[in-house]
Structure 1
Amino acid sequence: MTAATVATKNVTINGTSYNFAGTAPTSTVSVGIVGSERTVTNVAAGRITASSTDAINGSQLYATNQSITALAAKPVTFAGNTGSVTKKLGETLTVKGGKTTAGTYSDKNLNTVVDTSGNLVVQMADNPVFTSAIIGGTTTLNSSGMTITGGPSVTTTGVNAGSKKVTNVAAGTLSSTSTDGVNGSQLYATNQNVATNTTNINTLKNTPLTFAGNTGTVTKKLGETLTVKGGKTTAGTYSDKNLNTVVDANGNLVVQMAENPVFTSAIIGGTTTLNSSGMTITGGPSVTTTGVNAGSKKVTNVAAGTLSSTSTDGVNGSQLYATNQNVATNTTNINTLKNTPLTFAGNTGTVTKKLGETLTVKGGKTTAGTYSDKNLNTVVDTSGNLVVQMAENPVFTSAIIGGTTTLNSSGLTITGGPSVTTTGVNAGSKKVTNVAAGTLSSTSTDGVNGSQLYATNQNVATNTTNITNLANTPLTFAGNTGSVTKKLGETLTVKGGKTTAGTYSDKNLNTVVDANGNLVVQMAENPVFTSAIIGGTTTLNSSGLTITGGPSVTTTGVNAGSKKVTNVAAGTLSSTSTDGVNGSQLYATNSNINNIYNTGIKYFHANSTGEDSQATGLDSVAIGMGAVAGFDNDIALGAGSVTAETVATKGVTLDGTDYAFAGVTPTSTVSIGSEGAERTLTNVAAGRLSETSTDAVNGSQLHATNTALNTLGDRAVQYDLHEDSSVNYGDITLGGDTYNQYTNEGGTTITNVADGSAPSDAVNFSQLTETNNSIQNLYTSGTKYFHANSTGTDSAAVGADSVAIGMGAVAAHDNSVALGAGSVTSGAVASSGVTLAGTDYVFAGSNPGSTVSVGDTGAERTITHVAAGRLSETSTDAINGSQLYATNSAVNNIFNEIDGLQDDALLWNETLNAYSASHGDTAVNKITRVADGDLNEVSTDAVNGSQLYATNQQVEGNTTSINNLGDTVENIYTTGTKYFHANSTGTDSSALGLDSVAIGMGAIAANKNDVALGAGSVSGVTVGLQGSPWAGPTMRLPGRTRPARSAWGMWAANAP
């Protein structure tokens, strides 16, 4: 679907505007619609110039993308003393340092050497060994293993899943020596087996054994006692299914047993049932066609089952004991490991710590930074110290933690402990703790935890115990006198035949155990049964009598079982009667109804036994068996008549003339039949024939009309007839039988045929000639605005809704378009996006439904005069050469900018061992626009001119102040202070005592608070040069009175 023409005149890339060619398109070519775009394939490479309007193919844009990708991948290189780091455009290079003290370093990871140029080279081990490492702030690696805060741990004590699921666990080996972890599907399979065992056991426990006589049954569960009693009885009809009774010469009833008895079911001891399904012991084991159920009993003497992924063998106690021994050994090893300390050794000295104790590792002060891709960075601070920095995210080929934990590309391995590698998780004979419960299903690969396996083992142990108990629990067979017990597998012999008389129970049977241990069964003369089955179908019990497939008389009522109930007395007929009625009573009622049904109502009769009529429409009438008046006011007359919805017929057109009908708004329908079962309506009076008549017309009226039509005779063109002489309204044959359909000879010419105009009009010869000429012109000279000059193979539009134009063009796929001779379409190929400089770009039209081809492989065509396509995230327009040219020009500019950037970059000077701002022939250059650096004791930032200017100003001010201060001091020294002068070149005065004052050449105030005034004065010694010590009164000073020990050049007096 085409869209409105959109002119695209230019594009701006990196601040530069690029003009396009073909910026005034006059129309649009569309090869699809939104959501069903097509790929244009086999496009020849278009010309790439500023004026090109050629279409660009994928290989050209690919070359541009490759260039852009290479450009984005071309970095700026920053070099250090040794090595370098590269940064791409847009990335940030952070250079940081930090003060640290020199020390003795471990030879486990770092090494320093002085190279031939005198540079200090810091080297890092390819496989560093650390006592401990913290990754990402939460993952700790040390000699104990790996620990993730709030997550799993893999240490020398085992694997702790941290209350998380262990997923994708491969199925562990199941054997007596296996220590593999098992996954959810394995435990699920075990649990399914346990569940099956439990079900079978419960079924066995609650399934009784049924003991059946010739009539009657009794059931007993395992553990219950079945007492079989007999008594004297009379001879009778005997079952041929195992037992026979005879009366011997002494009047004793002898029960005889078949030598090869046949039982449908047998209940032994009241709890063991034997039938076609197998053996079931109530409360004990069962062995049936559904399997073996141990019934919560022990199963002893079990051979060791095969342990494999496909084994269905039971396992015995020794196999489980071996597993438990392994668990006990692991527990001992874990406890021993817990109390064994870890030894941490430095370059000098060692320290040991047990699991649970804390090892403190301290370091010096340093700042974080982004370092080289070899983990370390070196800087020299202002004091000349070499500062070694460690990457926040170091990259190692392999790391050994604590001498036992190895971390490399294969995963994590702890010597003597667990490992987590690409081959799987090996617990290293350690526990995997805190494992979240894994999913239990036939497809689960989750790891399972101890509680899940414990639950399974508990179930297995319970089943094992139940199976063992079941196997060791005997069945007790008790007679009226004596009893005998038999375990499963032993044989109970029940014999019949002559026996001695005894005291018999009145509960039908009596059994005695003879001297040989045989159970003798005797039958009562008047047996009492809880239930009796007679003839295999009639059951008599406390609920009543039930006949399978027949009547039943039970406590819930009488069910005739679809049989007749005969000889029923006439029941009372009243509103409260609950008596059953007999046939004669129902017959009398039916006779009354039949009289109405058979003879009808006066003047209204119907002779039918079918379904009733239905008048479903409002005010409708339906008369007759099955008649249906389905719409309002309809009338259905006669059996099976069905009314249809009213249809108005307003008129008819005959020979071009319209005739209007009367009665064109019918309100309802009268039907005297139904579709396929119409009726003849006879004795209809001749209706009025007029323009307004709505009367029905009869056959004679229509006959008169037909007679009038028949008088047309041969003057009219008539329809052909079928073989049965009925009219064939589909054919008209002109010229009688003279036309030969094979030779096209004969027939009749129809002349004076006007030009046909309507779709169904006949056309004359001139119209057909014109059409033929047009078709010939199409084939030889093409259609207006559409021509092809070729005599080759026709085009082929093979795909659904495809278009193929041009000799030999093939549109082989649905919705595809092949334009031009020899053009062949290919399958649509989706191009979802591209990654440039590490950034993913998603294309619009990334799910093409079909393709447009303008050529074939090796015979591509150039698509010219392509308008500049819209450049946007969602554009699916084709782009022309000028647009790609603009892109390429922008790319070239970027390359030039990068080259200029590298020329102007601050680069490392190997000779100066520093970054140099010199470029070309200029030895000295400014570095401008330097931000204010931090001014503190640890800062290594560069300072700018304004900061140095401020410092210089401060220094200059300080210099002036210092000079002024020096002059002032000099003035004081040489000329004194106002009102305070000394004229001497001798020794300076000395105030030795605390808070003392000494004024005058050589004056000495030696004691606390002393004052020595005058040249040569010494406190406490002299007053003046010639005086003597004064011990006069106190010296008053303003604000207080205090003792005064002074040396004065004159006598002292009390001061006011």
Structure 2
Amino acid sequence: VSVGVANTASGNGAVAIGDPNVATGTGAVAVGANNTANGQGAVASGNANSAIGQGAVALGNTSTAAAAGAVALGNSAMANNANDVALGSGSVTAAANPTSSVTVGGQTYNVAGANPTSVVSVGAPGAERQITNVAAGRVSATSTDAINGSQLYATNSAVNSLSTTVGTTTSQVASLSTGLSTTDSNVASLSTSASTTASSLSTGLSSVTSNIATLSTSTSTSIAALSTGVANSVQYDDPSHTTITLGGVGSAPVRLTNVAAGTNPLDAVNYSQLSSLSTTVATGISSLSTTVGSISTVTSSINGVMPSLSTSTSTAISSLQNEVNSLNNGIAAQGSGGSGKYVQVNSTQPGASATGSNAIAVGPTATASGDNSVAVGPNATASASNSAAIGAGSVADRANTVSVGAPGQERQITNVAPGTQGTDAVNVDQLNASQAAANAYTDKQVGALQQGINDTARNAYSGVAAATALTMIPDVDKDKVLSVGIGAGSYHGYQAYAIGGTARITQNLKMRAGIGISSSGNTYGIGAAYQW
């Protein structure tokens, strides 16, 4: 069907209406001025539009749908590739850019829709448009929905909340470090006090021993007996571990050399101390030789008191030793991964290292080398400034970041509350809701677009049927003056009817007029011809 001046309709059911248009291909439609529809089912409507390829659609002014299935809507819109859609004035499409994965925090994630076949453009480089009123898209591993700004806001809000939580954790770790430092100071003070007490007790015991030695000649005999009990090898005499005979039971006496001077009641004495003691005893014996009787009496009194004194002294030393042992055990436990009332540690690995300024490291082999960094957990490493590595093996090597894992050893962050601020982290429920909203909006917009295309096609098909009906009205015969007739037409299931007439004004001049009636509206036409 060709209606107008200089139109060309080539192909089964092709329609060209206006001046001048070209419709080439089965069912091709070119309506308006200077339009070209080339391809089966191609549609070009408006002014200077071009639809090239099967099913291509170009509507507006100077718009181009350059490939099969392409759609260009608007002034100078250009859909360059098969199945592309260019929406709006000046919109231009480019080749699809496949994206199979994204990387977030060192972790690569595969994405859905990795192999796009075409694109939808709503602008051009330097002339971009916002897409507003986008419903939240469905968020899942297989979703290909668009995401709106509120979903990203929710994601940022959740991340911000996580940052606040980590900041609180950092403060708590700092408080714990201060508490441990205070505990270390208290332990040092207690150790100094215990050492002073033991030294004082040793002095008192040495004084008692000296007095007893001065008052009794039996002391020298006891020391001599002790010297003869030394054996060659160091071993306990029996399983009760109460005595040791150097060299073994029954062996000849041996000499123990390089013995430091004893300072405590239970320390061994060396020859120098013994010689000094012998000199003192000899002097005492000389002064006591005239008072043997009195010494004997005093000795008897002392012998009565000695069991009680010995028992009291032994009890005091035992109690002090228990306290010292307990203190040593506590210090050793803290140094080798032990536990306290409010901190429990179970490890024998090397200790933590905090070499950065204001750095904190907690856990076996934990390392905080960045300034203001925090490493919490076995083998955790925070090497960048203001970074935090939380959990065993976690690595924080970028400034101002928080890491809860390492490449290949990632962790989920669970029990995340919904984000409410722009930099909060979002949880999966929020992303799913956002994706669902974006899906709904996209479906609505695509549905509206499809409805618009359907309406355009319906109008075009009805117009083609009306134009066909008008052409079916017979012309006036050469020897007649006036003719009136009706016509009918059908195209792609749409029907139309027409009524019109032709009048011969003169032998060489005649005029024609008609109206086409269809479900989508009426079309009118009038024309005149002069022949000679």
TM-score by structure 2 length? 0.26
User: Of the two structures, which has the highest relative contact order with CA contacts closer than 8 Å and spacing of 6 or more?
Assistant: 1
TM-score by structure 1 length? 0.14
Greater helix share, structure number: 2
